[in-house]
Amino acid sequence: MARINELKLSNIQQIRECFYNIKVWTKNELAEETGQSLAGITNILHDLIEKKEIEYIGEAESTGGRKSKQYRLNKDYYHIGMIILKRDHDQYQVIGRTIDLMGMILDEEKLVSKIGNLDELKIITDRLIKDDKKISLFVFSIPGICQDGKIDICDFEQLNGCNVGEMIKQRYGINCIIENDVNNACIGLSYMYPQSPHLAFIYQPAVVYVGCGMMIDHKLYNGFSHFAGELRYLPFYTHQQQDQLLRKDPELLLTKQILTLCCVFNPEIIGVCSEVVESIGNLNLNSEIPKYHYPQLVQIKDMNEMIWKGLYSIAIRNLKEKGKNNE
């Protein structure tokens, strides 16, 4: 009996994952995708519709036979709260959004100050929750490092040592995921290029050290101590020399970082967001590396847009599992 229940839950989760890929499905398409029987799929769809997790949206165009019924994820089954923390010199920005499961923006809040503390964070999350009781998850992007919901190091200095994840859990009774901003942007790049399992994202700011995120087999790679991607410590230059190059020849500095990733990581795509290099098309990648090993370079003008995509991708992946655990 336990094995039968386990198989049933596995079948349900298979179907759910199809819908969380944000596609419209017919029963025949689900059967072809999952290998499950039409009878079993019919029962699962009935249960998911009763729960209001998916919805019937009409019939597909006829191809000569009987019209197939179409189903999709109910975009309002869950809502997602997303927060970006961003620092610009002495200004601290807390930007919040509420979105539905299709990624449609339902609400947006923003707070700019010269303080950057936990109370300001609560102001934005309170506003989002007050206006939308369907928020089932918060996902955060921070300019820093976080372990298990607790912020270790952050450009918002007053948040250092704060367990933001626990605060969200106690205050609203919902879970919270916190990820570094560059890693979020890398996940967003992966969302844009789903056919590329190995890619990287480089952020080259004008005044501080470079940041890098890496995806291997579609999964974020942090290394055993979360040190992966710390390109500032490459043994080519001291930090002082990097500061000088950033001012005098940022193209050379960026080129060396890209070529290093080619040798060590060999990604298919590297997204680059630079505040000092106007066009990555001008980079001279000529080296002894055979050209067929070079990645496709993608210039990213708006890092926030990549971060939003990354936060959405993280949330959708988490909510798939939430449904699985609630079965």
Q: Which domains are delineated in the chain?
A: 2-73 (1.10.10.10), 79-173 (3.30.420.40), 184-302 (3.30.420.40)
In the chain, the percentage of residues whose pLDDT exceeds 90 is 73
pLDDT at position 215, please?
A: 96
Q: Cβ(76)–Cβ(135) under 8 Å?
A: no
Identify residue 69 by its one-letter amino acid code. Answer: K
pLDDT at position 258, please?
A: 94
Residue with tokens 């089954």: 77
pLDDT at position 324, please?
A: 54
Mean pLDDT of 78-90: 94
pLDDT at position 325, please?
A: 53
What's the predicted TM-score (pTM) here?
A: 0.91
Residue with tokens 């020399």: 241
Is pLDDT above 60 for 2?
no
Is pLDDT above 90 for 171?
yes
Res. 72 pLDDT band, cuts 50 70 90: very high
Is pLDDT above 90 for 3?
no
Mean pLDDT of 137-157: 92
Is pLDDT above 60 for 1?
no
| Cα–Cα dist 50/58, whole Å | 17
Q: Counting every residue, how long is the chain?
A: 327
Element (H, E) at 97: strand 91-100
List pLDDT tens digits, range 113-137.
999 999 999 999 999 999 899 999 9
pLDDT at position 16, please?
A: 94
Identify residue 131 by its one-letter amino acid code. Answer: D
Burial (0-12, 13-18, 19+ Cβ within 10 Å), 175: middle
List pLDDT tens digits, range 193-248.
999 999 999 999 987 778 999 999 999 998 888 788 888 888 888 888 888 888 99
pLDDT at position 299, please?
A: 96
Round the average pLDDT of the chain to a whole number and report it. Answer: 91
